[in-house]
Structure 1
Amino acid sequence: MRNELGLFVIFACVFEIVCQSVDIRCYSCTSMEAEQLLNDVTDPNWRRWLENVRNVPYTETCKDYFQVDRAIRSGVKNQNCEDGACMKMWFQEVNGASHVWRSCIPNARDQIRSDCTRVSTSQGEMEVCTCTGNLCNFSPQRSAYFISIFVLCALLPLIL
């Protein structure tokens, strides 16, 4: 029984590694007013990238705490992300209003690692999190998915 469990854990870890090399799907939505956001951004590089917020469904259910069933009923999509990474961008204005954008960064798997970066300015805070698991951009913070894979693989020697 112990060997069977050990083989199952090895299979699960290998399966996870193999699955990471194929295209993934990402949630796609925003709670940002695209035109207002673009009016506030003057940097041409940021503006060009942020123009993509116009192409995702607008819904308040995109905000944290993201409830998948409710969000999908309100128009949130999940999109194919070819050789890419999922992204969640969170803005909080000084007045406390917060907005979220969830999407795919295509063809970025080799350039972007799973991580979160937070920036604070006089206008508010912004956090961008990226991940490379299937539908991993649902979480208000780094996905428990990554933690569970780490714990599973860390326990492997104890099981064998």
Structure 2
Amino acid sequence: MTADLWGTDRQRQNEAYAASMAETVPGVPWDELVAHLADKDNHNRAIAAQLLCNHAAQDPTGRIIGADLDALVAVTWDERFVTARHCLQSLWKVGLGSDAARAAVVTALARRYRDSTSEKNGTLVRNDIVESLRKLHASMADPVIESTARELIDEEPDLKYRRKYARHWK
């Protein structure tokens, strides 16, 4: 199945992806996923990012902290915005793995939020981050997550977007 995951036949690739995402214990090796975060094919980068987020959600050892999290966050800056967004929308799952992973992903999301102000799709990035923090908070009920999200929302200079982001927290 992992050969299909990185293949060029999109139907087989999508089937392998769906099967991998549905598995309770992911069958794709961690190091293989990390390696594919830099794949030349943006579809493979998106798949690797989403599966790695799922892996990290089930890893109580916090293996994601450090270089692997940095590589994952780098995908949120991908040249193909759709790839960046797929990664960004899954990144919150990393925080489900351990307390240390949760703290690391909240910090990474906050930094990514603040760094997005000058990019073309910055408002979408910031919205995805606020929504991701909400999803993580809904799963973990950590007050630090909520306070971080509200702090980020308050930093938004455009009132229209500040209101939009705040809707995730009502």
TM-score by length of 1: 0.26
Structure holding more helix per residue: 2
- Scaled by the length of structure 2, the TM-score of the pair is 0.25
Larger-Rg structure: 1
Bigger relative contact order, structure 1 or 2, given CA contacts below 8 A and separation 6+?
1
More strand per residue: 1
